[in-house]
């Protein structure tokens, strides 16, 4: 995808799971505008389907154990 200034953009999605979180998230203001932590059973309602597909298999695996 090309953005208005002619730069090309390639999207990479990373999903991390942590049992414990300490400290604060630091946002650079250029590449990220908002970052938050969510419990797996409290994912936001507006989460797009492709993100749910990344997280879904992990949630299913947890439910089986």
* Per-residue pLDDT tens digits of the chain, which is 65 residues long: 888 888 998 877 777 778 888 888 888 877 777 888 888 888 888 888 888 888 888 888 888 87
pLDDT for 41 equals 86
pLDDT for 16 equals 76
Measured CA to CA, the distance from residue 57 to residue 53 in angstroms comes to 7
pLDDT for 4 equals 86
Tokens standing for 29?
């203001």
Cβ-Cβ contacts under 8 Å for 4 (sequence gap 6 or more): none
pLDDT for 58 equals 85
Measured CA to CA, the distance from residue 49 to residue 54 in angstroms comes to 9
**pTM, two decimal places:** 0.53
SS3 assignment, position 29: coil
Measured CA to CA, the distance from residue 55 to residue 15 in angstroms comes to 7
CA 22 and chain centroid, separation: 18
């Amino acid at each position: 995808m090309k953005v208005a200034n002619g730069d090309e953009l390639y999207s990479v999605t990373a999903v991390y799971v942590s049992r414990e979180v300490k400290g604060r998230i630091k946002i650079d203001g250029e590449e990220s505008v908002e970052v938050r932590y969510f419990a797996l059973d409290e994912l936001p309602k507006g989460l797009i389907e492709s993100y749910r597909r990344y997280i879904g298999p992990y949630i299913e695996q947890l439910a089986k154990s």
